[in-house]
Structure 1
Amino acid sequence: MSSSSVAPSDFSGLWVPLITPFRHDGMVDHPSLAALVRRLAPKGIAGFVVCGSTGEAAALDEDEQLAVLATVAAAAPALPRVMGISGYHLGQTLGWVRRLADNGLHGLLVPAPSYIRPSQQGLVGWFSAIADASSVPLIVYDIPYRTGATLSLDTLRTLAAHPKIQALKDCGGDMAKTRALIADGALQVLAGEDAQIFSTVAEGGAGAIAASTHVETEKFVQLLRLVGEGRLAEARPLWQALQPLIALLFAEPNPAPLKAWLADAGVIGDDHLRAPMTPVSDALRERLLALR
């Protein structure tokens, strides 16, 4: 596939990285997933990220991931969908990318290969090969604390020159790098850390991919709109009011606190996770209940 055979996509706005609900028997709870998607779809979000880290994609096989994607598409066909992919075997990853080609995706969310820690040249090769194989644009997922690989500013600028690499989910923890990429304008920069939504968008970032937005979705949508319009005095108290929620939802490994919140609210059937993920502690569950 030619590297120039895809048109630019818009990844601005608020994207919800969906959880994957599970039943008591450990199977995917597709009715709960469909209900969750239908609940979120009309709230002003840009679209959904399916099978990211919040969706426990590492615990889902390929057939399960395709079934999850199909459920999301059927529940909200008008909203764009981005599929998370990950791995460290390039050939297998390229095969999966090609298998996804006919699924109506808006883009792919792609991190560095985990565990291997390649050179910057190796990282350019990894993302470029995936972009060349993809039928849709890529969002580069810069998250060194999960992958063990840090994407340098020069590497991200090199990747931005690829016509299919069009956005960045920024969990890099380097605001100077974030600011430089926003100033370049070659990539749409999306906050990937929920606590950095305000600062990233205030600096000129395009939006966010944030797990907290399963909850109080309209407030997050309003926040992005106000900050994007430069109405910081109005946005600031809204943002400050969301801080206790964000803090609790990440007080233990994501998505356990989020699943506990959604199950307690009756949005999903239960808060089951797949090993090695575990449910929230009783202490955090009580704190979540007290915040409701």
Structure 2
Amino acid sequence: MQTAPHTHQASQANQAGPDFSGLWIPLVTPFDEGQVDKPALKRLVAHYRGSGIAGLVVCGSTGEAAALDEDEQLQTLHTVMDQAPGLPVVMGLSGYHLGKTAARIKALGTLGLAGILLPAPSYIRPSQAGLIEWFTALADVSAVPVILYDIPYRTGSRLELETILALAGHPRILALKDCSGDPAKTQALIADGRLQVLAGEDVNIFSTVAQGGRGAIAAAAHLHTERFVEVLRRIRTGDLAGAEALWTPLQPLIEVLFAEPNPGPLKALMAQRGLLRNELRSPMTRASAALVERLQRLDALVA
């Protein structure tokens, strides 16, 4: 696979605003007997802060944001930001009430975030015109850049290529977390060059970045973080053979990490590393014992 030229895309992105290139970790939320485990959260930030990542995403789907109330989400965000001065932090923000979501975006705009990660409204399944209205209205009130989150299997709404291209003209919509599973759409958006395309499906990191995507928001990168960072670095410098040699052992582990609902398998391995307790909020459940055994074997092969 050949690398796509980056010069034109990079110059456009730099003119538009912040650079979201590189590896972003959508941070898990640790729990302790049902409560957000702030000491563990601080340790996680300290653990990843110096690993070469571009930044952290708080309250994404990997962070079990849907199981946190608004106060817990804000406390989690403040804990992470206080522990990571100088490290860019993006906040995930989902909702289906336009007014309430807009009010939250306005409040978050005063906190010094690098951006907002914004999916389509869940459950409603609006038309493409409705999706353009939704994202435009929220980007209009945002003081920080917006990263579109195209993840139809969670929201029930697919962002069509024409819709994303229309939204790319908004001055505060600068990037896309791509979980669409549509390679042709991914290629078209990279070629368009206005949005910084970030792989959102971990199995697609190599292909997306090798084609000119800017980076990834990758749950699996909680593990072997420096290796993920190095894969992206080598792709950017044109060392595809070296990148692929590092990437190939990661692929089986990535696939099994998502064999049961995320972040159950991920938390199981992180708990074995002493990073947090193996605890999730219902209806999320711990990974099965059989899956954890498979993960342990694959994890050892990467190391």
What is the TM-score with the length of structure 1 in the denominator? 0.96
Residue of 158, 161, 165 corresponding to 2:166: 158
1:84 pairs, out of 85, 89, 92, with 92
AA matched with 2:19: D
Q: How does 1:107-146 map to 2 (within 5 A)?
A: 107-146=115-154
The match for 1:55 is 63
Instruction: Say whether residues 1:18 and 2:18 are aligned partners.
Output: no
Gaps of 5+ in 2: 1-15
1:220 is aligned to 228
Aligned partners of 1:286 and 1:157: how far apart in 2? Answer: 44
What TM-score results when the alignment is normalised by the length of structure 2? 0.92
Q: Distance in 2 between matches of 1:285 and 1:174?
A: 30
* Residue of structure 2 equivalent to 1:30: 38
Pair 1:283 & 2:290 matched: yes
Q: Cα deviation per residue 1:104-125 (whole Å; 9 max; x = unaligned)?
A: 1000000001111111100000
1:240-280 deviations in Å (ceiling 9; x for gaps): 01112212211110000111111111011x11111110111
1:71 aligns to what SS in structure 2?
Answer: helix
3-state SS of 2:106 partner: helix
User: Structure 2: which amino acid aligns with 1:281?
Assistant: S
Structure 1 runs (4+) greater than 3 angstroms displaced: none
How far apart, CA to CA, are the structure 1 residues paired with 2:66 and 2:142?
20
TM superposition shift of 1:224? 0.2
Distance in 2 between residues matched to 1:54 and 1:289, nearest whole Å: 20
* Aligned pair partner of 1:94 in 66, 90, 102: 102
Counterpart Cα distance in 1 of 2:272 and 2:136: 43
In the alignment, which residue of structure 2 is the partner of 1:191? 199
Q: CA separation in 2, counterparts of 1:159 and 1:33?
A: 34
User: Structure 1 residue aligned with 2:79, among 63, 71, 74?
Assistant: 71
2:117 partner SS? strand
Unaligned runs of 5+ in 1: 1-6
Structure-2 residue corresponding to 1:4:
none
Aligned length: 285
SS of residue in 2 equivalent to 1:43: coil
Aligned residues with identical type, % of pairs: 63
